[in-house]
Amino acid sequence: MDKNAVKAVKPLGFPWETQDPFLFCVYHEDHYPRGNEDFGPDTSLEGRNIGNDFVIKDGFRMYHGTKVPGFPVHPHRGFETVTVVRKGMVDHSDSKGGAGRYGHGDVQWMTAGKGIQHAEMFPLLNREEENSLELFQIWLNLPRADKFVEPHYSMLWAEQIPVIDIVDQGGLKTTIELVAGNLGAHLSLEPAPNSWAADRDHEVGIWVVEMDPGATWSLPKAGKGVNRSLYFFEGASLVLNGASFDKHCTIELEAHMDVHLENGSLKGRFLLLQGAPINEPVVNYGPFVMNTREEIQQTFADYQETRFGGWPWPKDDQVHGRDRGRFARFTDGREEFPPSRV
């Protein structure tokens, strides 16, 4: 195997470093205590930097939440958020009237386009036991031609996301969940319609991979020039094309070269992000991602004038009722539920 398939190795930070067409990837893992009546932690918040709490204390962070952990109302323009929730629940509310509750394997794909406000709160629904949360939030850029499309969001329900099991010669299993892209003949669900990922020729892939202890697996090749990052975030060790990794890290790969993985003595977990680069200038300021500084300045002016539709909800940290299960409500009033609810 060709060790030249490895372009670079980088430590996992907060957030994780990404390559074009991706802008940002952050991994959240929090072990919240049981919830109180207001969906927050049933414990003291003393000693926390409330409103900007990003340091793990007693196993969890409040982020920008003051009572409920999460991210109260904030704006976006010029890119997409893909939120992959592995454990726990997220409550979504937006300035277009959209709402939802999703988790336990669900994915929300939101195109901010010309501008939207939304809140992403982590309600602690269980009042008897701990509430664990695990998710990836991935920012995928939009090309200049699509930065002003209408905002849109869709749900990829866990029950519908393709899951592929590959068994090696030793009978050990690798499981791949296709959030975006394809693996051989297996195709992911459709992403948002104006996404860079909507054109399959862009080879955008978002895969969540788990490998049994000792399992082996070969990554399929992608096109030359496609950017590919493999995030090794759980497990004891990894051997990739003969190179050993005993620390969690980001491995940037040549997508068109053979890559063979040999997992170590514990279950291995990985996130793969890949895609053809957009190859346009990126100028970002916080939640706005445009192509020029002048466009960022115009975005600030537009937001001050319009608030991207305002905020139709009673609270900045809007949380839905305790009796609500997983659901999505769209701007046209249509509601959608996971397949098991239909």
Q: In angstroms, rounded to a whole number, what is the distance separating the alpha carbons of residues 76 and 197?
A: 19
Q: Is residue 296 within a helix (H) or strand (E), and if so which, with residue range?
A: helix 293-306
Residue 160 confidence (pLDDT) above 90: yes
Mean pLDDT calculated for residue range 80-87: 98
Strand partners, 178: 207
pLDDT above 70 as % of the chain: 99
Q: In angstroms, rounded to a whole number, what is the distance separating the alpha carbons of residues 290 and 299?
A: 9
Backbone angles phi, psi at 39, to 5 degrees: 75, 10
Mean pLDDT of the chain: 96
Structure confidence at residue 219 (pLDDT):
96
pTM: 0.96
Q: In angstroms, rounded to a whole number, what is the distance separating the alpha carbons of residues 271 and 181?
A: 13
Mean pLDDT calculated for residue range 68-91: 98
Structure confidence at residue 340 (pLDDT):
73
- The pLDDT tens digits of the residues spanning 187-223 come to 999 999 999 999 999 999 999 999 999 999 999 999 9
Residue with tokens 């200038």: 281
CA angle 282, 16, 123 (to 5 degrees): 105
- Compute the radius of gyration of the chain from its Cα atoms: 20
Structure confidence at residue 3 (pLDDT):
65
Between strands 152-156 and 107-111, the pairing is: antiparallel
Structure confidence at residue 162 (pLDDT):
98
SS3 (DSSP) at 295? helix
SS3 (DSSP) at 96? coil
Structure confidence at residue 2 (pLDDT):
67
Residue 342 confidence (pLDDT) above 50: no
Closest CA to 158 of 102, 82, 100: 102
- The pLDDT tens digits of the residues spanning 13-28 come to 999 999 999 999 999 9
- The pLDDT tens digits of the residues spanning 275-332 come to 999 999 999 999 999 999 999 999 999 999 999 999 999 999 999 999 999 999 999 9
